[in-house]
Amino acid sequence: MDDILLHYHQLGDIFDTFSMGVMIVGADRKIISLNHSAEIITGHNESDLSGKYCHQILLDPLCGGECQYLEAVEKGRQADSIDFTVRDQSNEKHSITRIVSPIYGPDKTPLGCIEVFQDHSIFKDLLERVRHDDRRLKIILDNLDIGVLTVDRGGHITFFNTRAETITGFNRGDVLGKSCSMIFGSRSSHDLLLLNETIADGQARASTAGEIMTREGQAIPMRANYMALKNEDGRIVGGLATISDMSLKYQFNSAIKGRYTFYDMVGKDPAIQKIFEIVPVVASSDATILIEGPTGTGKDVLAKVIHNAGSRSKKPLVKVNCAALPDNLLESEMFGYVRGAFTGAEKDKPGRFQEAADGTIFLDEIGDLPLSLQAKLLRVLEDKEFYPLGSRNTTKVDVRIISATNQNLGRLVAEKRFREDLFYRLNVMRLELPPLKNRKGDIPLLISHILKRLCATRDTLVEKFSNNAMEVLLNHDYPGNVRELENIIEHALIVCQGKIIERNHLPLSLQAAIALPVPAEEKLPFAKEMQFSERNIILDMLRTYNWNKGKTAAALNINRSTLWRKMKKYNISH
């Protein structure tokens, strides 16, 4: 009996990590131990309470006048909980949740209980309910609003709680017994090294800027704490990691502050992956970059990611839309002017290049830049100086230039509508973003990413799209690309009043395009076209996930059995 209770006594160190109080009580209701957090919550030291009857000291303030342990044993409940309010030494109120879980011996004899106290002022709504299928430690860990996983000394996952499932997209059945490198990305990842070091020396560690891999292979930012797990002999037998998903923080910063990072770049398509691989290298240099791609593919986001990842990230990023300004205003906007340069110029005005000094200037829609200004831009690239409008003196400027276009600059050069020498100076590094219709396998990833960001900024709690709504989105061609997809999701969030976006929450034009009645003579070709589209999407996803049917089904948001039937229907085999 003592060995069993000693095992639970060691849980106190674990729960101190969560600022959760743990008290172990024997069958005679005498207090055996309290951890540090329990001392803070109860206002008593372990030395003062050890060996004393809990009901004589704590029954009224912490138990609500009733003994939950005796009641749970009498009624055969696995655990019981109660919410109450206490005041600390400063007379400040604290809302406490207390969960009581009886401890039984091999012969089902009650040996005592483990009591856990959670101060909601430290960690809001930490315990929601108690599950019956896991006992004691797992009962509590599985109900935490924070990801928890444990590993053995070999790094194999032995426990994976519900919140960890939500964060990563993995079911616990997918990861139990597997190497934790599938969660931390690789065996050389910084966070995995921290966990291994903790298991080796027993010293707790923290990672404030780590990352974890989702089921779809996307890296998401996290904050983690690591500690060693010991057996009753004090020998280290594994490790425990607590994981906090920080993606909402990054999503919020991206949407509100414009601080886009690598976590804003989403996609598994080979074409987009090549861009992701080269961007860190390009960002670390000062090379001039040309981004090409259709409207709405995310050229401006990519420009912001490059700027924020480079050495000029602390300096300004200034955007100029070359197509949005009239030709007669574009020069003065870009290069500024001096007093008296024209009627109404009553004082000197700096241009966008001067505003971007030591930082980055992003020239969007560079293909629309008038020929008259292309020569002036070329001089900035070559000599890092220019004449403000009306000035006889040059202005020196040190900026990095990133340009973007939805046109083919090579074709514009051939048509004499764009200077060849400027084209080659801009085209030092060229990144080409593919249209969304060419990477439909990325649509589920993009939907999840955009949904998180929009929910963060709108304070909305929508969880996912239904299968019917997802089917509509997967079969749309997106002439407006990622921007159109984002607009569709934002529309759905406004209309949806629940946690799941249904087909009827999508824009009416999108629903009509999918559901238009088809004349009898066109039904067969249309049906074939739709089947061909669905077959290609499934085939692309299977290739993306190396023919792993579980991951493919999850990415498509369908069951494995549904995927198997569609593969059989379309004669898809590996």
**Mean pLDDT confidence for 546-565:** 78
**% the chain with pLDDT above 90:** 13
Query: What does the pLDDT look like over 338-363, one tens digit per residue?
Result: 887 777 777 888 889 999 999 999 99
Q: What is the 3-state secondary structure (H, E, C) of 310-350?
A: CCCCCCCEEEEECCCCCHHHHHHHHHCECCCCCCCCCCCEC
| Cα–Cα distance for residue pair 115/91, rounded to 1 Å | 24
pLDDT confidence of 567, banded at 50, 70, 90?
confident
Cα distances (Å, whole numbers) of residue 479 to 209, 437, 527: 37, 8, 21
Looking only at the bridges linking them, the beta strands covering 400-405 and 93-104 are: unpaired
Tokens of 553: 């089904």
Q: Are 279 and 306 in contact (CB under 8 A)?
A: yes
> Is residue 97 helix, strand or coil?
strand
Q: According to the per-residue pLDDT averaged within each range, which of 89-103, 255-269, 332-346, 427-441 is highest?
A: 427-441
Mean pLDDT, all residues of the chain: 78
Q: CA 471 to CA 491: how far, in whole Å? A: 17
Q: Decide: 373 and 379 in contact? Cβ < 8 Å.
A: no
What is the per-residue pLDDT for 90?
60
Closest by CA to 503, choosing from 466, 531, 554, is 466
Q: DSSP label at 253?
A: I
Residue 258: pLDDT over 60: no
User: Is pLDDT of 214 > 70?
Assistant: yes
Q: Residue 317 has what pLDDT? A: 92
- Residue 420's pLDDT band, with cuts at 50, 70 and 90, is very high
User: Of 301, 306, 276, which Cα lies nearest the Cα of 288?
Assistant: 306
Least confident of 188-192, 278-282, 365-369, 484-488: 188-192
Q: Are strands 500-501 and 464-465 parallel, antiparallel or unpaired?
A: parallel
* Spatial separation of the C-alpha atoms in residues 151 and 170, rounded to whole Å: 16
Q: Give mean pLDDT, residues 130-153.
A: 64
Residues 57-101: tens digit of each pLDDT: 765 555 655 677 777 777 777 666 676 676 665 666 666 777 787
Task: Write phi, then psi, for 47 (nearest 5 degrees).
Answer: -65, -30
Specify which residues 66 forms β-bridges with. none
Average pLDDT over residues 144-157: 84
Domains and CATH numbers, the chain: 2-129 (3.30.450.20), 147-245 (3.30.450.20), 270-432 (3.40.50.300), 437-515 (1.10.8.60), 520-569 (1.10.10)
Q: How confident is the model at residue 419 (pLDDT cuts 50, 70, 90)?
A: very high
Residue 120 — pLDDT band, cuts 50, 70, 90? low
Per the model's pLDDT, the better-predicted residue between 72 and 439 turns out to be: 439
**Token pair for 195:** 């966990």
What is the reported pLDDT for 520? 41
For 553-570, give the DSSP string.
HHHHTS-HHHHHHHHHHT
Bigger pLDDT: 56 vs 113: 113
Quick: pLDDT tens for 98-115: 778 788 877 778 888 888
The pLDDT, as a whole number, for residue 248 is 58
Residue 262 has pLDDT above 90, yes or no: no
DSSP secondary structure of 365-413:
TGGGS-HHHHHHHHHHHHHSEEPPBT-SS-EE---EEEEEESS-HHHHH
C-alpha span between 307 and 319 (Å, rounded): 12
Q: CA 472 from chain center: how many Å?
A: 24
DSSP-based three-state secondary structure for 168: helix
380-405 pLDDT tens trace:
898 889 888 888 888 899 999 999 99
Cβ contacts of 527 within 8 Å, gap of 6 or more: none
Cβ-contact 142, 134 below 8 angstroms: yes
DSSP, res 238:
E
Buried b (16+ CB within 10 A) or exposed e, 48-64: ebeeeebbeebeeebbe
β-bridge partners, 212: 220
Q: What is the pLDDT of residues 486-540, one digit of tens each?
A: 899 988 988 888 888 988 888 877 776 554 443 444 333 444 444 555 677 788 7
- Scanning 155-269, the segments in alpha helix (DSSP H) are 162-168, 172-175, 181-184, 190-201, 247-252
Looking at residue 92, its pLDDT comes to 65
Question: Which pLDDT does position 536 carry in this prediction?
Answer: 72
Question: Cα separation of 317 and 304, whole Å?
Answer: 8
Kindly state the tokens that stand for 65: 């006048």
* Residue 413 confidence (pLDDT): 92
